[in-house]
Structures are given as structure tokens and as C-alpha cells.
Structure 1
Amino acid sequence: MSTTRTRAGRQSTSSSDDNVKRVRDLLNTDRRLSVRLISETLDTTKTIVHEIVSESLGMRKVCAKLVPKVVTDDQKARRCLVI
């Protein structure tokens, strides 16, 4: 008797390591990409891309640019120097 069962519905691999890497690679080329544009490029849903960006990569949108949620002291100092 097999212990593997197939389930109906969407596969749980939508935010797999491969998809996280693909989103990370796109964001490394241009941090101003929108979730919509990334989802169209990777042919996946906007919800999944948003989940990957916010939860897996720990990023958020600031002034139309995706940045890490945790800012280091060095980044804060550079930000103050620019102003």
C-alpha cells in the first residue's frame, strides 16, 4: 500500500527555492521592478511573487524600490550623508 497521496488544488512548490532564486536574480538586476512585472516575466501569480519578496527575501517597497527590511548601521549612516 502506498503512503503517498495526491491532493487536489495548487501545488505547494510555487514558492520553491528555484522560484525564490529567480525572483532574487531579477531584483538584483533592477530593484525598481514591480511585483506585476516580475510575475509576468516569471509566469506566476502576483500573490506568490509578493509572498516571495516579502517573506522569503525579507524585502519591502520604499519609494518605488524594493529594499531589505533590516537596514544596517552602515546603510543608515550613508543615508544620512546623502541628505
Structure 2
Amino acid sequence: MILYDWKIGLTYKDSHARLVKAWGEQAPSDHTVFNWFREFQRNKFSVHDAPRSGRPSTSVTQQTIDAVRTIIEGDPHSTYQRIETILGISSIAINSIIHDYLNLRKVCAPWVPHTLTDDQKQLRVQFCGHSLKRFEEGQSRRVFDIITGDEA
């Protein structure tokens, strides 16, 4: 109906009014009719999308993951902008690689591993057990005996 209205020379407003009269609330919006008229003026009469090259290539590949790892291992203070400049990939891809694939997070500037090894976990359990035992046996009741540190 919209193509017919365009071919007989109606304006998009008149075409929209006819559609509303025929279809009521089910009629396409004024803006939709305008867009179709514009397409017809450009000699585009197909209701199908134009062919596309396909899905865009992704920047997250094993090669880029390895490259980001190498950059960060070489300089733990690397920024997204530096990695973006070197590899030519988006900051979204860099973020995905760093957090989802390399399991890193930034703590006080350098990138550090987010996951602990089994040995590191065991050492922490042993230290906590030792501290708890000292506290329960009355050897130490001072808060100052607890040692803390950041992850960097």
C-alpha cells in the first residue's frame, strides 16, 4: 500500500492517514511511512536487507590474548591506550582479554593475577590456623599481631 501511494504521487502524510483509516492502531507509524518513501525515492524497492560481508571479525583470538599477556608481563603498568596502540584492537576487546581470559585485575597500578595458586591458598590457610592457635592459647591477644598487606 505504501509503494502504491508513493507511485500515484501521494505524500507520506497522506499515505499515513490512509493507513490509519484502514488499520487504526495497527498502522505503521508516521516515521516508518516517511522512511519507506525515502527508500523508494532512492530506487530501493526491496523489503530485504542489502547483502553484508557477514559477522565482523573478532579481536579476541588466541594470538591477541598471547600478545596482551606478553605486553603486560613486560610492563605491568601498561594502560589500555598503550595496548590499543600496539595491537590496534578496541578497549572493549582488551578489557575482555584481561578480565575474562587472563584473569587479571589492576591493583595499585600494576596488573596482578586475580587467582591464587593452590600453594598460595594452602600457605594462607596454614598462617590463619597458626594465628588462631596463638590467639586461643592466649599467646597473643593484640590486634597488632595481625599483619596485613595489599595485593601489589
TM-score, normalised to structure 1, is 0.73
Name the count of aligned residue pairs. Answer: 73
In structure 2, the partner of 1:18 is: 63
Instruction: State the shift of 1:42 in Å.
Output: 0.8
Letter in 2 for 1:29: G
In structure 1, the partner of 2:106 is: 61
Equivalence map 1:4-83=2 (5 Å): 8-12=54-58, 14-72=59-117, 73=120, 80=149
Letter in 1 for 2:91: K
Instruction: State the shift of 1:43 in Å.
Output: 0.9
Say what the alpha-carbon RMSD is for the aligned residues.
Answer: 2.5
Q: How far apart are the structure 1 equivalents of 2:82 and 2:91? A: 9
Q: Could you list the runs of 5+ residues in structure 1 that have no partner in the other structure?
A: 1-5
Letter in 1 for 2:56: R
Instruction: State the shift of 1:9 in Å.
Output: 4.0
More strand by share: 1
Letter in 2 for 1:10: P
Q: How far apart are the structure 2 equivalents of 1:66 and 1:7? A: 37
Larger radius of gyration: 2
Letter in 2 for 1:8: G
Larger RCO: 1 or 2 (CA < 8 Å, sep 6+): 1
Letter in 2 for 1:44: I
Q: How far apart are the structure 2 equivalents of 1:63 and 1:7? A: 43
Match of 1:19, SS state, is helix
Q: Could you list the runs of 5+ residues in structure 2 that have no partner in the other structure?
A: 1-51, 128-147
Match of 1:15, SS state, is coil
Q: Which runs of 4+ in 1 moved over 2 A?
A: 6-9, 71-77
